[in-house]
Structure 1
Amino acid sequence: MGLIFWQKIRLISLIILFAFSNLNKANATINAATIENNQLNNITSVSQLSDISADSWEFQTLQALIKQYNCVNNGNINNNKSLNRYQFIIKLNACIVNINELTSNGKLNRETLTKIQKLQAKFSAELVTFRNRIDLLENKVNALQTQQFSPQVELEGEIIFAMTGVAGGKKANSRTKQINENLVLSDRVRLSLETSFIGKDNLQIRLQGRNTPELSDFTGTKMVNLGFDGDDDNEMEVDEINYKFPLGKQTRITFYALGGGLGDFVPTVNPLFSGSGDGSISTFGRENPIRRQGGGAGIGISHNLNDSLNLSLAYVTNDAANPERGIFASPHGAIAQITLEPTKTTALSVTYIYSYNNVNTGTGSELTNNPFNNQADAITANSFGAEAAWQLNPSITLGGRVGFIHAKAEDLAATPNAFISTWALLLSIKDISREDSFAGFVVGQPPKVIDNSFGNTFEDEDTSLHLEAFYHLQITDNLAITPGLFVITNPENDNSNDKIYVGTVRTTFTF
């Protein structure tokens, strides 16, 4: 009995295991079928993908609402053209949003509300999807607007190669020394690191190396100096550090820790001439010489009084880091300028400059740079200037400038005074042969001492003229070639001196 009993128990166990095994297989089959049915039920029906034809009630209803309430910006929909569902939902959603505003004012009748409710029920799924996408886009835009600005450092560079020649007879104020009529090849390299911390400010650190000589050393007059000269044996050094940031929508603050000039703080009325790498080839042609009375470290503020009127103020000092002299005892200069653009084709500026021991502009005769024969150690100067530009047509612009310097030797007996004048006429013709190319012409008088109570000997008896022509040829966005020539008549404001001719071909690479 015992053996038979255990055999029965084993047989029953095998039957139970077999039954459970088949039951699991059946359940798996049922679950798979259920999942497949659910997936089939989730597939978008053909009706939800079809276009909305022009003869459908949905199309006609929406068109009637648009016509009655003008609820879509681009007007009616085309009767002869069907809309895909996405296009239809865009117009429907816009119409519902605009009509809802009328609902709040109680201006809708029951018939209109019924039509809208019917369309909303018909396209409820599409409207929900579309509005979710709009909300998602708005959230992304808000996140981009509120996220913290990430500063990045950019490297910009400028390289100048120049072939220059000087011709003439004797050196200025010399009866024996001839001007060496040689060609020279020189260069200037600038590398700028620029970054922003809030997106609207700019920090610039510029390195410079150059070996372009000052031609005054070889001709006897500063009137012939090039607008991009300077010789430090091509040793790279930091020559400029500045930081600019907005103080409100109309105001901008500029700091120079190194390398700032008075002209860097104020707007330029004739910008085509002002650049050292792409403007006039001469120092005199680039800007009004009265602006060259000071440089170094400084601070400036520029404020737009309205859309056409700007006021700029600045102060610079040559030896700001010297604790024995400080920023006020060192040679310094201050500038105030009002710039007016009454029309799109006209601009003018009026400038006042005060300087201390900075009367040397580096562009005029030796007497203008040293009107008191090295005997004064405290020279103050009040300078006044005006500049204008008039665009005759889209290509031709006529400009002009005048400047007066009243210098006074504060530490000499009777405080002698010297009056210095300068003027120039400018003409530019743009887009000659190539876009962004232009020709520039300068006719003017370099600074001249017209009166000096220190003595008649220290007045310029004659008048020099500066005659210049150059052509800035923009080959590509990063390459320009500027051939140019200028002539100085009566160098050093002395008609006994021979004319001096300076020619150069300046090639400028930027990156």
Structure 2
Amino acid sequence: MKKIWKTLLASPSVLVATLILNATSVPAQTAATSDNIQEENLAQVTSVSQFSDVQPTDWAFQALQSLVERYGCIAGYPNNTFRGNRALTRFEFAAGLNACLDRINELIAVATSNVGSGDLSTIKRLQSEFSSELATLRGRVDAVEAKIAQIEANQFSTTSKLEGEVVIAATDVFEGNTPDKNTTLGTRARINFVSSFTGKDTLYARIQANNIPDTDEAALAFAGDADTNAYLDGLWYSFPLTKSTNVIAIANAGAADDVVDTVNQFDGDGAEGALSSFGTRNPIYYQMDGSGLGITQELGDSLSFSVGYLASENNDPSQGSGIFNGPYGALAQLTFEPSKRFKVGLTYINAYNQGLDAQGVDLATPYESDSYGVQATLGLSDKLVLGGWGGYTNTRSLSASGDADIWNWAVTLGLNDFGKKGNLAGVIFGMNPKVTDSSIAGLNKDDDTSYHIEGFYQHRVNDNISITPGVIWVTAPGNNSNNDEAVIGTLRTTFTF
């Protein structure tokens, strides 16, 4: 009886050893090389010492020795070689496996013939005594399998994750024309639901509440509506159309950074990186928001082309609104990244009645604009990154004649792992959007220039908490030297889970 169980237990080991020995020989050759080797008649061997190319120091020596000398189901080549480093053909695998199975059947037959009638009676009696327990166990297994099949058939997605983010910011305007110079404390809380149906697609839904007040002199990247109402602040679905084409359908609160890479090392969407909206990305990107579609086509390992269309009054059926008749932004961008240290983006945006106020230009008349931008980052070393952008917008009045030119630019410098791994020190210097020429009634040319200087230090306490103190200095706010310079201090704490 013991011999039977030992034989049965040994049988799987023989099969596994056979598969490992023949199918994973190291180093394996390519299938093409294996096909080019002339097949030879295989000869059965009785001792591993018959192989001239097998040494006791080989990693599979003991397994080969057991298969040859214990089971006698391994063959060699007529020149007394085993060729353990050669790739295995399907024919050779079938021949070796068949020889081992035949030998196992012989051992089982011999062992069974030696079992007495008393042992067989004992086995039958045990089966009878435990028949109810076996039936119960079988029923439980069947029930579990049925439940698993039902769950798999009706599951919402293959994966679904819950993510959270809380930004707490204390802000004060130390200098400036605004009469509101009291210190404020506000919070932006986000709950993100990230799901996937195929493992390659993403369904993203975000609920947000934000009561962080903004400042007049420099818009903060994490500021909100100064209330505590929670609302759906982001809903989109991204999926690969082909191996090199990705599509994103945006149903709510979309922005340019949902469609393209803004090519700025400090673009952390308010939670990380730059503290101001100006320092977060090129201001021309703010001429896009709402609902729409984006497509990115990979043109190789280092080049991609993206297009996107977002409408901000997509759910309003009234005249002058909707997806195509209301305010919109249409984007095209070519992104070139030949190495991890260098990236550049060339951007074009056509917009209607949307986004100029984000550039500090208030134009009440209906307008259409064309914007052009170039953004780049260059890693001077592993820790020192230089970046910047330039943006130009030409806007035309649709209710009266005239157009206007608006320019902006910035230079950024980042120090990664400054003081501690994961920390980031950043400096931003640039020119706020400036009207350099205008023939539109009510929109005058800016005679003065407003500069934006920002410095921050993002200290990572751990993987889930970071603290970022920073200062924003704006000269000639509104491109008017009669306005006092503004100095804004803020302390941002970000929690993620």
Instruction: State TM-score, norm by structure 2.
Output: 0.74
Alignment partner of 1:469 out of 447, 450, 455: 455
Alpha-carbon distance, 1:328 to partner: 1.1
Q: Deviations over 1:367-425 (max 9, x none)?
A: x232xxx3x2x20000000011111111111001000000000221xx21110000000
Q: What does residue 104 of structure 2 align with?
A: 125
- Report the Cα distance in structure 2 between the residues aligned to 1:206 and 1:275, rounded to whole angstroms: 14
Within 5 Å, give how 1:311-326 maps onto structure 2: 311-324=305-318, 325-326=321-322
**8 A contact 2:67–2:74 mirrored in 1:** yes
- Report the Cα distance in structure 2 between the residues aligned to 1:435 and 1:272, rounded to whole angstroms: 17
Distance of aligned partners of 1:103 and 1:263 in 2 relative to their CA distance in 1, 3 Å threshold: closer
- Report the Cα distance in structure 2 between the residues aligned to 1:80 and 1:103, rounded to whole angstroms: 25
CA radius of gyration, larger in: 1
What count of residue pairs does the alignment treat as equivalent? 407
Q: What does residue 182 of structure 2 align with?
A: 182
Distance of aligned partners of 1:291 and 1:344 in 2 relative to their CA distance in 1, 3 Å threshold: same
Pick which of 424-433 and 273-282 moved more: 273-282
Distance of aligned partners of 1:58 and 1:328 in 2 relative to their CA distance in 1, 3 Å threshold: same
Distance of aligned partners of 1:196 and 1:436 in 2 relative to their CA distance in 1, 3 Å threshold: same
Q: What does residue 27 of structure 1 align with?
A: none
Distance of aligned partners of 1:282 and 1:128 in 2 relative to their CA distance in 1, 3 Å threshold: farther
Q: What does residue 265 of structure 1 align with?
A: 259
- Report the Cα distance in structure 2 between the residues aligned to 1:82 and 1:101, rounded to whole angstroms: 19
- Report the Cα distance in structure 2 between the residues aligned to 1:459 and 1:127, rounded to whole angstroms: 98
Within 5 Å, give how 1:11-410 maps onto structure 2: 39-44=1-6, 58-61=47-50, 63-64=51-52, 67=53, 77-79=55-57, 83-85=61-63, 101=89, 124-125=103-104, 150=155, 151=157, 152-171=159-178, 179-216=179-216, 221=217, 224-324=218-318, 325-364=321-360, 368-370=361-363, 374=364, 376=365, 378-410=366-398
Q: Does 1:420 align with 2:406?
A: yes
Q: Does 1:509 align with 2:471?
A: no
Alpha-carbon distance, 1:128 to partner: 12
Distance of aligned partners of 1:123 and 1:299 in 2 relative to their CA distance in 1, 3 Å threshold: same
Q: Deviations over 1:335-386 (max 9, x none)?
A: 000000123321101000000001424243xxx232xxx3x2x200000000
Q: Does 1:487 align with 2:473?
A: yes
Distance of aligned partners of 1:422 and 1:274 in 2 relative to their CA distance in 1, 3 Å threshold: farther
Alpha-carbon distance, 1:495 to partner: 1.4
Alpha-carbon distance, 1:82 to partner: 9.1
**8 A contact 1:149–1:197 mirrored in 2:** no
Q: What letter corresponds to residue 186 of structure 1 in structure 2? A: G
Q: What letter corresponds to residue 249 of structure 2 in structure 1? A: F
Distance of aligned partners of 1:79 and 1:310 in 2 relative to their CA distance in 1, 3 Å threshold: closer
3-state SS, counterpart of residue 284 of structure 1: helix
Distance of aligned partners of 1:123 and 1:268 in 2 relative to their CA distance in 1, 3 Å threshold: farther
Q: What does residue 449 of structure 1 align with?
A: 435
Distance of aligned partners of 1:59 and 1:341 in 2 relative to their CA distance in 1, 3 Å threshold: same
**8 A contact 1:359–1:379 mirrored in 2:** no
**8 A contact 2:48–2:65 mirrored in 1:** no
3-state SS, counterpart of residue 231 of structure 1: coil
Alpha-carbon distance, 1:274 to partner: 3.8
**8 A contact 1:159–1:190 mirrored in 2:** yes
- Report the Cα distance in structure 2 between the residues aligned to 1:121 and 1:504, rounded to whole angstroms: 75
Pick which of 280-289 and 452-461 moved more: 452-461
Q: Deviations over 1:135-193 (max 9, x none)?
A: xxxxxxxxx9xx9795143211101111111111433xxxxxxx343211110000111
- Report the Cα distance in structure 2 between the residues aligned to 1:257 and 1:380, rounded to whole angstroms: 24
Alpha-carbon distance, 1:239 to partner: 1.4
- Report the Cα distance in structure 2 between the residues aligned to 1:453 and 1:59, rounded to whole angstroms: 94
- Report the Cα distance in structure 1 between the residues aligned to 2:449 and 2:303, rounded to whole angstroms: 36
Distance of aligned partners of 1:236 and 1:100 in 2 relative to their CA distance in 1, 3 Å threshold: closer
Q: CA-atom RMSD, angstroms?
A: 3.5
Distance of aligned partners of 1:122 and 1:191 in 2 relative to their CA distance in 1, 3 Å threshold: closer
3-state SS, counterpart of residue 432 of structure 2: strand
**8 A contact 1:157–1:510 mirrored in 2:** yes
Alpha-carbon distance, 1:505 to partner: 1.0
Q: Deviations over 1:71-92 (max 9, x none)?
A: xxxxx64449995448965996
Distance of aligned partners of 1:126 and 1:386 in 2 relative to their CA distance in 1, 3 Å threshold: farther
Q: Which runs of 5+ in 2 are unaligned?
A: 18-44, 76-81, 109-148
Q: What letter corresponds to residue 104 of structure 2 in structure 1? A: A
- Report the Cα distance in structure 1 between the residues aligned to 2:471 and 2:106, rounded to whole angstroms: 71
Distance of aligned partners of 1:57 and 1:402 in 2 relative to their CA distance in 1, 3 Å threshold: same
Q: Which runs of 5+ in 1 are unaligned?
A: 1-38, 68-75, 105-115, 130-143, 172-178
Alpha-carbon distance, 1:477 to partner: 1.2
3-state SS, counterpart of residue 362 of structure 1: helix
Distance of aligned partners of 1:244 and 1:122 in 2 relative to their CA distance in 1, 3 Å threshold: closer
Q: Deviations over 1:43-63 (max 9, x none)?
A: 538xx899x9xxx973323x5
**8 A contact 1:209–1:232 mirrored in 2:** no
**8 A contact 2:176–2:487 mirrored in 1:** no
Q: Sequence identity of aligned pairs in percent?
A: 32
Distance of aligned partners of 1:87 and 1:380 in 2 relative to their CA distance in 1, 3 Å threshold: farther
Instruction: State TM-score, norm by structure 1.
Output: 0.72
- Report the Cα distance in structure 1 between the residues aligned to 2:246 and 2:417, rounded to whole angstroms: 32
